[in-house]
Amino acid sequence: MGAHPHALVVSLFKSSVRKQHPRPRYKKRRRRLNCTTLEQTLSANLCRAAPPFLATTRRVPLCRPLLTMRSVCAVVLALAAAALSSADSDTHRLRHDSNLEIYKRLFETKRKDQLNALKNLVELNDINQQYKIIDIMLKGLFKVLEDSRQILVAANMQPDDPFPMDDKIKEAYSHVVENTAFFGDVALRFPRIVHHYYDRNNDWDGLLRWGLNFCNQTGVFTGGAHQHVLTLMSQELGIMEKSPDFINPYRTERDDVLHTAEAFQKILREEEKRRRKEEKRKEIRKGPRISRSRTEL
pLDDT beyond 90 at 250? no
Report the share of the chain in percent with pLDDT over 70: 58
The predicted pLDDT at position 138 comes to: 94
pTM for this prediction: 0.58
Q: Which residue has the higher pLDDT, 42 or 174?
A: 174
pLDDT beyond 70 at 33? no
Domain boundaries, the chain: 96-286
- The pLDDT tens digits for 89-138 are 444 444 446 888 999 999 999 999 999 999 999 888 777 788 889 989 99
Mean predicted lDDT score pLDDT of the chain: 73
Q: Which residue has the higher pLDDT, 112 or 20?
A: 112
- The pLDDT tens digits for 144-162 are 999 999 999 999 999 999 9
- Given a contact cutoff of 8 angstroms between Cβ atoms, the answer to whether 39 and 62 are in contact is yes
pLDDT band at 68 (very low <50, low <70, confident <90, very high): low
pLDDT beyond 90 at 232? yes
CA distance 190 to 166: 36
- Could you write out the three-class secondary structure of the chain? CCCCHHHHHHHHHHHHHHHHCCHHHHHHHHHHHHHHHHHHHHHHHHHHHCCHHHHCCCCCCCCCCCCCHHHHHHHHHHHHHHHHHHHHHHHHHHHHHHHHHHHHHHHHHHHHHHHHHHHHHHCCCCHHHHHHHHHHHHHHHHHHHHHHHHHHHHCCCCCCCCCCCCHHHHHHHHHHHHHHHHHHHHHHHCHHHHHHHHCCCHHHHHHHHHHHHHHHHHCCCCCCCHHHHHHHHHHHCCCCCCCCCCCCCCCCHHHHHCCCHHHHHHHHHHHHHHHHHHHHHHHHHHCCCCCHHHHHC
Average pLDDT over residues 217-228: 87
CA distance 134 to 123: 14
- The pLDDT tens digits for 193-203 are 899 889 989 99
The predicted pLDDT at position 282 comes to: 74
- The pLDDT tens digits for 261-287 are 566 677 667 767 777 887 788 777 766
- Give the C-alpha distances (Å, rounded to integers) separating 51 from 38, 41, 54: 21, 17, 6
pLDDT beyond 80 at 143? yes
The predicted pLDDT at position 274 comes to: 75
